[in-house]
Structure 1
Amino acid sequence: MVSMRQLFLQHVAQTSDFPLMMEIEKAEGVYMYGTNGQVYLDLISGIGVSNVGHRHPRVVSAIQEQLEKYMHLMVYGEFVHGPQVQLSEALHQTLPKHLDNVYIVNSGTEAVEGALKLAKRYTGRTELISCYNAYHGSTQGALSVNGSEGFKNAFRPLLPDVRHIHYNKIEDLERITTRTAAVIIETVQGEAGVRVPENDYLKKLRARCTETGTLLILDEIQSGFGRTGTFWAFEQFGIEPDILLCAKGMGGGMPIGAFIAPQHIMAAFKTNPILGHCTTFGGHPVSCVASLATINVIKEENLLAGVQAKADLFKQLLVHPRIKAIRNCGLMMAAEFESFDVLKAVIDKAIERGVLTDWFLFCDNSMRIAPPLVITEEQIREACRVILQVIDEALMSQKFGKLKS
């Protein structure tokens, strides 16, 4: 009989030659349960998605209730969908007053695509600026503003008139001019290995964008929805964006994203041409109620209050000569090792012991630590105990392998 793993390899499109191949039959809270009886403590939240944990009861309940009413009815923007309206209002309540118009899509990369189009349409300009080592998604527009040539070259030609600057480099801000439609930037760089803005970098970026009439697009697809200890990461840095992007942790496990802007900017999509941006499934009512439930869980269960203490506990416990540094903004964390080879051996052994971690696309010597915000102190201690144990085991295995060869 053909196994599920064999069917997976035969019929499910692969994104690499080395998928993890974990077969999960159930997930709840911070744990995933394999078909082989293995229990995995999830330290990466499906790459920043399960901020309130897997299958949070309130999210599941909201989904079930909506399924009894209706699912898809009409393409986005035509009907008054209660779930869309309620979610948009709830998002607005978390934001500065000028960010009052929400365009709900299906994913982070779609939010990026919509925001880039909006910036060009509203400003009448064509130049886009992003950062080196930035990750904004994989569709062609989003890929154009990614900051890694290795990911882009095979797919050129991409969008023209895209420039890059170095994150945290104040001198590069002079490259933003009156030709620039928008700067798109991660408030905290994710796939670069958790790089936090320094020396009032974001304030100076905000000032330069204001000076040149450039729209500032903040990508909070990874850092939003409480990941950094505030609902939005930009709250910690004294600035406000013109357009805000969110997804990942937004849906409590359901697919959803959004780009958010002032109404007068978003109105650019309504004329010349009409339907300047449209989507069939964006704002799907089931995803919207899941997102609204997620917001309510974060607020009413006071999840933000515990983020910094939990991050501090990780930093206190993860002390080892092979860990060169730990960078973080809340529970968006990176533990740096000397090389990818060492890190990969540690990750593999940690998974064998039931702790799931990962690395970063543009920083492959650093371990990603981004657990559900509901993780407990006891669970953090257990995860760190396993990681420290497998570091020594991985190094011994490598050393023994070299001796044998």
Structure 2
Amino acid sequence: MEHVFPTYARFPFDIVEGHDVFLTDNNGKTYLDFTSGIGVCSFGYSNELIQNNLAEQAKKIWHTSNLYDSQIQDDVAAKLCNGDQLAFFCNSGTEANEAAFKLARKYTGKAKILAFNNGFHGRTFGSMSLTGNPDIQAGFTPLVPGVEFANYNDDEAISLIDSDLAAVILEVVQGEGGVNVADKTWLQKVQQAAHDNGVLLIIDEVQTGIGRTGTKFAFEQFGLEPDIITSAKALGNGTPVGAMIGKKKLAEAFGPGTHGTTFGGNKLSMAVANGVLEQLTPDFLKQVQAKSKSLWDKLNTEIKPLEHVTDITGLGFMVGIHLDDSLKVGEVITQLQNKGLLTISAKYNTLRLLPPLIMGEDNLVKGVELIKDVLQ
């Protein structure tokens, strides 16, 4: 690529076509997809309802602006929120986290935010300032002030939650940071400390949400009741969309002129999100839970005992296979591509798996077997 900034370390092939859970590159090679475009295309690449919704909306109007009412935004928000929540639509996860950052400060009148090491919340300045990864922040200082970091799953973090904080932000499963799952008791302690001190709890569900872990949002499995939730990725199944969901009481701090976006809530993206949420039914989620159980049984029996595997972590269709230092994850990913399987990595030499939620057990098993072949 000659005319684009080299901000990505790209693999030397171009994905030009997709169908179901398979992708085809510019050389005609077809791959089984265990990435979902980094947790995005949970309904695959040829979902009929999503395609029809997008085509029908394109025949009507692509874009107006947020100066006018949008019934389709309200329809999506009704599916996304519970009765005590409102939504703000934007274009990505980092924008959703920016909105959450701003709302927390505006509502509380306080500046300090507590975030966690190995967390990831995006690459714009506010979101990057909340991201507990020095490598991502390197070269961009000074960052947004007022952000403190604590260790994930560490009780010492509880003592840092006091009335000086505006909010605590965290992922219940850290994706980019190594597919680290939070301890349920620890999360509940964090929530209790936040509520006791008048501190907002922000849960970043950009990667974990919209069914990825077997429930609509991952926090539902941990007994949490966040004040703000951020969502993106799978909500648009490949079209640019993000959402910040907050309790209705927060609306007093986010009136006209406090925040905005030209393209947020775009009607094409809303048409897709409508199709995604319409299919995210209790029955569909039960199927995801059943398939993920089979997937984890296979991982624990076939992959975990292998010599170079130190641990397997994750939840639902979000998996991290941790490798020892003698086997580099980049080499594994390349070998898997040669065998026709697409995977990605996470921090600390972790092979990350994010298969589409529609993938059948036969292809899940096939993917695990290919991983076993390479790791052996």
Q: Does 1:114 align with 2:105?
A: no
Counterpart of 2:44 (choices 49, 53, 56) is: 53
Quote the Cα distance in structure 2 between the aligned partners of 1:340 and 1:14: 29
Quote the Cα distance in structure 2 between the aligned partners of 1:310 and 1:21: 33
Query: For 1:11, what is the secondary structure of its paired residue?
Result: coil
Query: For 1:84, what is the secondary structure of its paired residue?
Result: helix
Contact 1:55/1:252 (8 A) holds in 2: no
Quote the Cα distance in structure 2 between the aligned partners of 1:199 and 1:90: 27
Counterpart position of 1:32: 23
Structure possessing the higher radius of gyration over alpha carbons = 1
Q: Does 1:149 align with 2:134?
A: yes
Q: Does 1:295 align with 2:277?
A: yes
Quote the Cα distance in structure 1 between the aligned partners of 2:156 and 2:188: 14
Contact 1:55/1:253 (8 A) holds in 2: no
Q: Any residues of structure 2 matched to 1:182-221 within 5 Å, and which?
A: 182-198=167-183, 200-221=185-206
Opposite residue 275 of structure 1, the aligned amino acid is: G
Q: Cα distance 1:121–1:55, how it changes in 2: closer, same or farther (>3 A)?
A: same
Query: For 2:207, what is the secondary structure of its paired residue?
Result: coil
Shift of residue 341 of structure 1? 4.4
Contact 2:288/2:316 (8 A) holds in 1: no
Alignment size in residue pairs: 372
Counterpart position of 1:401: none
Identical-residue share of aligned pairs (%): 33
Quote the Cα distance in structure 1 between the aligned partners of 2:345 and 2:120: 14
Q: Any residues of structure 2 matched to 1:229-244 within 5 Å, and which?
A: 229-244=214-229
Q: Deviations over 1:275-315 (max 9, x none)?
A: 11011100001101101101112217614433332432442
Quote the Cα distance in structure 1 between the aligned partners of 2:35 and 2:133: 22
Contact 2:308/2:326 (8 A) holds in 1: no
Contact 2:43/2:356 (8 A) holds in 1: yes
Q: Deviations over 1:174-225 (max 9, x none)?
A: 1111110111111211112111121511111110000110100000000000
Q: Deviations over 1:336-376 (max 9, x none)?
A: 1102743222111100111011111x32x110011001111
TM-score (norm. length: structure 1): 0.89
Counterpart position of 1:21: 12
Counterpart position of 2:54: 63
Q: Does 1:275 align with 2:267?
A: no
Counterpart position of 1:367: 351
Q: Cα distance 1:304–1:275, how it changes in 2: closer, same or farther (>3 A)?
A: farther
Q: Does 1:306 align with 2:295?
A: no
Q: Deviations over 1:137-189 (max 9, x none)?
A: 00000010110112213100011111001111112111111110111111211
Contact 2:15/2:23 (8 A) holds in 1: yes
Contact 2:166/2:199 (8 A) holds in 1: yes
Shift of residue 330 of structure 1? 0.7
Opposite residue 332 of structure 2, the aligned amino acid is: V
Quote the Cα distance in structure 2 between the aligned partners of 1:300 and 1:198: 25
Q: Any residues of structure 2 matched to 1:246-395 within 5 Å, and which?
A: 246-270=231-255, 274-299=256-281, 302-307=284-289, 308-315=292-299, 316-319=301-304, 320-339=306-325, 341-360=327-346, 362-363=347-348, 365-392=349-376
Quote the Cα distance in structure 2 between the aligned partners of 1:370 and 1:188: 13
Counterpart position of 1:161: 146
Quote the Cα distance in structure 2 between the aligned partners of 1:112 and 1:45: 21
- Runs of 4 or more, structure 1, over 3 Å off, are none
Q: Which moved more, 1:314-323 or 1:185-194?
A: 314-323
Quote the Cα distance in structure 1 between the aligned partners of 2:357 and 2:294: 9
Opposite residue 146 of structure 1, the aligned amino acid is: T
Q: Cα distance 1:340–1:118, how it changes in 2: closer, same or farther (>3 A)?
A: farther
Query: For 1:143, what is the secondary structure of its paired residue?
Result: helix
Gaps of 5+ in 2: none
Quote the Cα distance in structure 2 between the aligned partners of 1:340 and 1:132: 25
Contact 1:226/1:304 (8 A) holds in 2: no
Opposite residue 289 of structure 1, the aligned amino acid is: A
Quote the Cα distance in structure 2 between the aligned partners of 1:340 and 1:255: 38
Q: Cα distance 1:124–1:60, how it changes in 2: closer, same or farther (>3 A)?
A: same
Shift of residue 69 of structure 1? 1.2
Q: Any residues of structure 2 matched to 1:100-111 within 5 Å, and which?
A: 100-111=85-96
Q: Cα distance 1:266–1:13, how it changes in 2: closer, same or farther (>3 A)?
A: farther
Quote the Cα distance in structure 2 between the aligned partners of 1:234 and 1:163: 23
Opposite residue 13 of structure 1, the aligned amino acid is: F
Counterpart position of 1:224: 209
Quote the Cα distance in structure 2 between the aligned partners of 1:340 and 1:239: 39
Query: For 1:104, what is the secondary structure of its paired residue?
Result: strand
Gaps of 5+ in 1: 1-8, 393-405
Quote the Cα distance in structure 2 between the aligned partners of 1:70 and 1:330: 37
TM-align CA RMSD: 1.5
Quote the Cα distance in structure 2 between the aligned partners of 1:304 and 1:123: 38
Query: For 1:265, what is the secondary structure of its paired residue?
Result: helix
Contact 2:308/2:327 (8 A) holds in 1: no
Q: Deviations over 1:32-83 (max 9, x none)?
A: 0112110011101111101111231111111001111111112x2x322121
Shift of residue 243 of structure 1? 0.4
Q: Cα distance 1:299–1:239, how it changes in 2: closer, same or farther (>3 A)?
A: same
Contact 2:119/2:131 (8 A) holds in 1: yes
Q: Cα distance 1:201–1:222, how it changes in 2: closer, same or farther (>3 A)?
A: same
Q: Does 1:91 align with 2:80?
A: yes
